[in-house]
Amino acid sequence: MSSKLPELKIVAILQARMGSMRFPGKVMADLAGRPMLEQIVRNLRQSRLITRLVVATTELAQDDIIARLADSLGVPFYRGAENDVLDRYYRAAQQFQAGVVARLTADNPMVGGAFLDLCLDEFLAATPPADYLDTGGSPAFPLGLSVEVFHFRVLEEAWRKDRDPDSRQHVTPYIRHHPECFRVKRLTNQVDDYDLRWTVDTAEDMVRVRRIYHALQLRDRPLPYSEIIKRIRENGF
């Protein structure tokens, strides 16, 4: 870890809910013999930098299953607003005393601990210091290889000032749309791999990700994202 901010507690907050317009219940869909949410938790636990991993879900009864799974995995969870996800993040980060927050979503099963650590290292070592980092730069990473990192004070400012319900549903637009207030850093890929779709929005996406997991035997053996890209390019799946 960078020595610049050794005192900060780094909390990775993984948002998850059963509700989905295009693929209901996708976070609990099978991926390599486990619920996708469990597979993501296992992947993220490979991080050497985070202080704590937290699952942030809603207070709806349909999301009881998410809370039960998190509890069975020994992962703390926070339950909050369904649509005001900014409020859910803020209150989860506050409860777990985060100094730095890594935002993750439970429809991106290709994000592992090593990639999360890459983002955290870049954030902590940024010169000048960054308030916010995301992986939305160009050339781009595969769609679904996505991490956002920001200071708790930045999250708190967005929580206080953002009055747009749609923006709050997506957590960070206020930060990204006010570069005059926040130092934004965009982490870019070496080449443009955005044509690779690794997110899970639909049942077809899940078929694709399952195929990758099976072909590369990723269930219990995470590979660097660059190696996964290389093998996909070579083998065409």
Domain boundaries, the chain: 10-235
Q: How high is the pLDDT of residue 5?
A: 46
Contact 11, 50 (CB under 8 A): yes
CA atoms within 13 A on the CB side of 54: 28
Distance CA 47, CA 53 (A): 10
Tell me, yes or no, if the pTM score tops 0.75: yes
Q: How high is the pLDDT of residue 8?
A: 83
Q: How high is the pLDDT of residue 21?
A: 87
User: Domain 10-235 classified CATH 3.40.80.10?
Assistant: no
Q: How high is the pLDDT of residue 78?
A: 98
Q: How high is the pLDDT of residue 4?
A: 46
Contacts of 51 (CB under 8 A, 6+ apart): 9, 10, 11
Segment-wise mean pLDDT, segments of 10 residues, the chain, 237 residues: 62 97 95 98 97 98 98 98 98 98 98 98 97 96 98 98 97 96 96 97 97 96 94 89
Q: How high is the pLDDT of residue 183?
A: 97
In terms of Cα–Cα distance, which of 234, 191, 231, 232 is closest to 208?
232
